[in-house]
Amino acid sequence: MKAHKRNIYLDILPLSKAYTIIEELPIQTLSSYLLPTHESVGHVLSESIYARVSSPNYHSAAMDGIAVRAYDTYTAREDNPLSLEEGIDFIYINTGNPLPDEYDAVIMIEHVIRDGDTHVVIESPAYKWQHVRKIGEDIIATQMILPQYHTISARDIGYILTAGIFDVPVYQEARVCIIPTGDELLSVEDRILPTKGEVIESNSYVLKALLKPFTQAVTIVPRIQDTQEAITQALEKAIEDKYHCILLCAGSSAGSKDFARSAIENVGKVLFHGIKAMPGKPTMLGLAGTVPIVGVPGYPGSTSICFEKIIALLLHKITHKAIPPKERVQGYLVQDTPSKLGIEEFIKVCIGNINGTYVAIPLPKATGSTRTLSLAEGICTIPAHKEGISTNEKIDIEIYIPTSHIDNTIICIGSHDDSLDGIDAFLGVSSPYRLRTVHTGSMGGIYALKNRTTHCAGMHLLDKEHQDFTIPYLQKYLPHDSFVLYTIAMRAQCLYVQKGNPKGIHSLQDIVTKRATFINRQHGSGTRLLLDSMLAQENISPADIVGYATEEYSHLATALHVATGNADCALGIYSAGISLGLECIPLAEERYELVIPKEYATLRSIETLYDCIASTKYKTYLTTLGGYTTELTGAIREV
């Protein structure tokens, strides 16, 4: 059987050139129809609309009071009050009532003094049209109410109806067809958990959700088999069904089973294949007649950028709806971030406000990470002409969340611990504050404290010489700074092994003698330092441990390697191992605490964090996780 040739990218375009191609696309015009005004929110006007009546359509009182002829009141003074007779000089009038033709002003009732049953006295004159809503003050018949292409909002409804317009001409919803491809994909509707080689298909539903500001008329067809013939037939069917835009998910890359390009060429033409962006490079745009077809990359990170930079612009052109605006702030990355020259790179970030300065924490670049997309609170751009951005370089950060959320964020950079994962939920119950954690290891926390890019750092650094945790390291690396150390718990560090302990591992020495495969934590983490200390104490060389150099960045990640059989054992906290059904052999107990610069220790957000950790509910939560003791929870030490 002849193997299918591997794709090569065509001319990879800068985004600016891709935008020009989209702008010049000869796409079909959406049809128009009349829709009742009160049902039209979110729709786009297909033609300008004009007022049928004026509003108000008569002169009316703007206040409760008396209607008068302004000229008759000009002699009224505080020292020379003017008497007026009802029915001759004035009439009483309420707000909104028509103003009789013979009157041209209203005096507020508060400024009128009654004088018997038929007379009143005023002490100041009225001017013409005082407290009167004149004909057409709001709307004049025949004036343009709203222009073509305006998206109708809830605030517009009263305006349009007041102008006497009960039906509005609007464009139909743009019909978008999403075609997922891939033999490895499992349908969400089937609710089947994946086995090896299978993936739950989620990109289609992400795209459908992202499309909501532009259209509700989105169809996701059943997953298409990974063959050129099947994908071509799916495209032909979508074109026949008169969709206004087709999103072909996956198959746009350069693999031997990526058929998107050839399938698009079977029904139309490819306008570009590949953009100078990372992630998102495989993005493709084709055209079948007047129907644009986007080849959407399969990795979630690439899908996201493809939507933000290409699909949103395309849907704006089709629907005339504005691309939802995103706010921008200026700030700094917390670490030097390299980039490939010649490619525009987009970095998803979490964001915090440290002493009035916005800091952006880069999330993992893995384009296959749905977690990165979920955690992202903003995005930074590294231009194509730069090889990266340094920490001292001010940058624009496009934010996805309100700045009020950012200002209420507590940033915690340092050692990973399961206990931190629950704090955010407890904070959210009774406060506006949020906790965002970045897993860099305890030494990473030290550097973050040194660079003033975090409010606090999780640490559990054991110093064998002083038989103490963390404080000796702070005194060594940050000798001129003051800190408050807030204990979360004492926690158990264990050897993870599979259920039944098939290799009979009970100690570090067993890892060596039984040639067990180990998975390690990253360099600079407290768990790695603890391991190295214990190995030195037992005269075990790291070189004798198979897998010592293989690293992960969290306890759950190392536990997962053991649970799936990729490693025989690992060192980590008890709670992470138990959660994945592993056996945990205790090797050490250590103090896990938050290190907080003294200047932040009295912030309201940090004090709320203290209260949360010291609460009975949180201590109960820790106990339920397993592997924690809470006798010292809430204890404070100072450096």
Task: Read off the CATH number of the domain in which 153 is found.
Answer: 3.90.105.10
Please tell me the predicted confidence (pLDDT) of residue 4: 46
Residue 419, in any domain of the structure? yes
Burial class (CB in 10 A: 0-12, 13-18, 19+), 466: exposed
In a domain, 452, yes or no: no
CB 66 within 8 A of CB 91: yes
Q: Quick one: 129 and 148 in the same domain? A: no
Rounded to an integer, what distance in angstroms lies between the CA atom of residue 341 and that of residue 592? 41
Same domain, 561 and 621: yes
Could you tell me if 144 and 126 lie in one domain? no
293 in Cβ contact with 264 (< 8 Å):
yes
Number of domains the chain contains: 5
Question: If DSSP states are collapsed to H, E and C, what string results for 224-251?
Answer: ECCCHHHHHHHHHHHHHCCCCEEEEECC
Q: What are the φ and ψ backbone dihedral angles of 74, each rounded to 5 degrees?
A: -65, -20
- H-helix or E-strand containing 617? helix 616-625
Cis peptide before 279 (omega within 30 of 0): yes
Parts of the chain with a pLDDT under 70: 1-11, 251-257, 366-368
Q: What is the CATH number of the domain that holds 348?
A: 2.40.340.10
Q: Which residues make Cβ contacts (< 8 Å) with residue 144, sequence separation at least 6? A: 48, 49, 50, 51
Question: CA–CA separation, 477 vs 595, rounded Å?
Answer: 13
Question: Crossing angle, helix 604-614 and helix 616-625, to 10 degrees?
Answer: 60
pLDDT value for 23: 93
Is 190 part of a structural domain of the chain?
yes
Same domain, 155 and 178: no
CA distance 585 to 499: 11
Contacts of 54 (CB under 8 A, 6+ apart): 135, 136, 139, 140, 141
- Rounded to the nearest 10 degrees, the angle between the axes of helix 442-450 and helix 526-537 is 130
Residue 28: per-residue pLDDT? 87
pLDDT of residue 540: 94
| H helix runs in 219-356, sequence order | 228-240, 260-267, 300-306, 312-319
| pLDDT on residue 257 | 56
Element (H, E) at 62: none
Do 104 and 45 fall into the same domain? no
State the Cα–Cα distance between residues 48 and 40, nearest whole angstrom.
Answer: 14
Report the SS3 class of residue 71.
Answer: helix
pLDDT score for 189: 84
* Claim to verify: residue 466 and residue 515 sit in the same structural domain: yes
3-state secondary structure (DSSP) of residue 531: helix
Residue 621, classed as helix, strand or coil, is helix
Any idea what the CATH number is for the domain that residue 571 is in? 3.40.190.10
CA distance 283 to 249: 10
Among the candidates 112, 133, 154, a domain finishes at 133
Last residue of a domain, which of 319, 343, 372?
A: 319
Residues 102 and 166 in one domain: no
CB neighbourhood size of 347 (10 A): 23
Q: Within this chain, do residues 488 and 634 fall inside the same structural domain, yes or no? A: yes
Q: Is 9 a member of any domain?
A: no
Contact by Cβ (8 Å): 296, 247: yes
Kind of pairing between the strands at 65-68 and 90-93: antiparallel
List C-alpha distances in Å: 468 to 40, 491, 633. 67, 15, 17
Do 406 and 436 belong together in one domain?
yes
454 assigned to some structural domain:
no
Same domain, 151 and 48: yes
What tokens does 246 get?
A: 């087709």
Which of 263, 290, 319 is the C-terminal boundary of a domain? 319
Closest CA to 120 of 66, 69, 78, 79: 66
Residue 8 domain flag: no
Whether the Cβ atoms of residue 609 and residue 433 lie closer than 8 Å to each other: yes
Q: Which pLDDT does position 618 carry in this prediction? A: 92
Q: What is the pLDDT of residue 256?
A: 44
Q: What is the pLDDT of residues 59-109, one digit of tens each?
A: 999 999 999 999 999 999 999 999 999 999 999 999 999 999 999 999 999
Examine the domain organization and report whether 616 and 469 are in the same domain: yes
Share of the chain above pLDDT 90, in %: 70
Q: Are 295 and 248 in contact (CB under 8 A)?
A: yes
Domain containing 300: what range? 15-27+174-319
| Distance between CA atoms of residues 103 and 575, nearest Å | 83
Cβ-based neighbour number of residue 539 at 10 Å = 7
Task: Measure the CA–CA gap between 174 and 470, rounded to whole angstroms.
Answer: 59
Tell whether 181 and 255 lie within a shared domain: yes
The HSE-up count of residue 573 (CA atoms within 13 Å, CB side) is: 28
Question: How far out from the chain centre does Cα 435 lie?
Answer: 15
> Is 450 inside any structural domain?
no
What CATH number is given to the structural domain containing 228?
A: 3.40.980.10
H helix runs in 433-584, sequence order: 442-450, 471-477, 508-513, 526-537, 555-563, 574-579
Q: Tell me, what CATH number does 110's domain have?
A: 2.170.190.11
For residues 11 and 284, give the distance between their C-alpha atoms in angstroms, rounded to a whole number: 11
CA distance 419 to 623: 10
Candidates 265, 348, 268; CA nearest to 303 is 348
Per the domain annotation, does 40 fall within a domain?
Answer: yes
